[in-house]
Amino acid sequence: MDAASGTVAGLWRWPVKSMAGERVNALRVDGRGAGGDRTHAVFHEHKGVRKPLTAREAPRLLAWSAAYPFNVGAGLDPAHPPYAMVRAPDGHSFLWGDPRLATALADDLGRPVELVRDVEGIHDLARTLLVTTAASLRALGAELGDPVDLRRFRPNLHLELDAPAWAELGWEGAELALSGGVRLRLLHPCVRCVIPTRDPDTQVKSPGLLKHLAARHDQVFGINARVITGGRIAVGQTAELRPRATGPAPSGR
């Protein structure tokens, strides 16, 4: 593994699991991950088990969006995120917890739902961030013959580095240091499900994307990370990849 350096090209947070999120200029991170990221979720009952409802089962969720309009960027405290503001496909807005939101979601999704909020985050892999690279995104677009919308992969941190495409598949155990003082431990590449096959604007399915990732890249895109040292991350900060030390890599699986 070679060292690499570059800049933070983009930042995202996704207040409600499986809904559209918001691109921001800065984020505050701590051991939970990105402040306010996936701290809300729509739950349902499946085969007698109460669990988050995601775009795998309900692609229509992607037509809804969520944001923190009064807590811009790094002003959001990860320990005390506010209630998300949710926007329906028809343009109506609801504050999370408004009983009308649960009714509107149930009507739109065609199933009973429950609204759940947890400031610790409701991630598939607890207490993590998702990191992607611009080189791999460009390479994927070239392989498919059409640019790929990064929002399909729902990252938190997008990097422009002097590393080749797909290099992140070999970064397990490495450290990512940002000029603002934040340090991340890179875990393992993120194995993708069917959610990236849905267009984030139209929800139309493109199954060829997942088939291509499976055939060419072990069905992964991006790499999971955990926060070693928290703080503020801003677009334009420098980023340095430090190869892992000798010895076994930390497990994030």
Give the separation between CA 162 and CA 135, rounded to whole angstroms.
9
Instruction: Give the pLDDT score at 253.
Output: 40
4-14+125-242 CATH choice from 2.40.33.20, 3.30.499.10, 3.40.50.360, 3.30.565.10: 2.40.33.20
Give the separation between CA 121 and CA 106, rounded to whole angstroms.
23
Where along the chain do the CATH 2.40.33.20 domains lie? 4-14+125-242
The list of the chain residues with pLDDT below 70 reads 245-253
**DSSP strands (E only) in the chain:** 4-13, 22-24, 26-30, 33-34, 40-46, 49-52, 65-67, 85-87, 93-95, 114-117, 129-133, 157-161, 175-178, 183-191, 220-229, 231-234, 238-242
Instruction: Give the pLDDT score at 251.
Output: 46
Q: Which residues contact 10 (CB under 8 A, 6 or more apart)?
A: 23, 150, 155, 157, 158, 235
Instruction: Give the pLDDT score at 245.
Output: 64
pTM of the model: 0.93
Give the separation between CA 8 and CA 231, rounded to whole angstroms.
15
Instruction: Give the pLDDT score at 71.
Output: 78
Classified as helix, coil or strand, 118 is coil
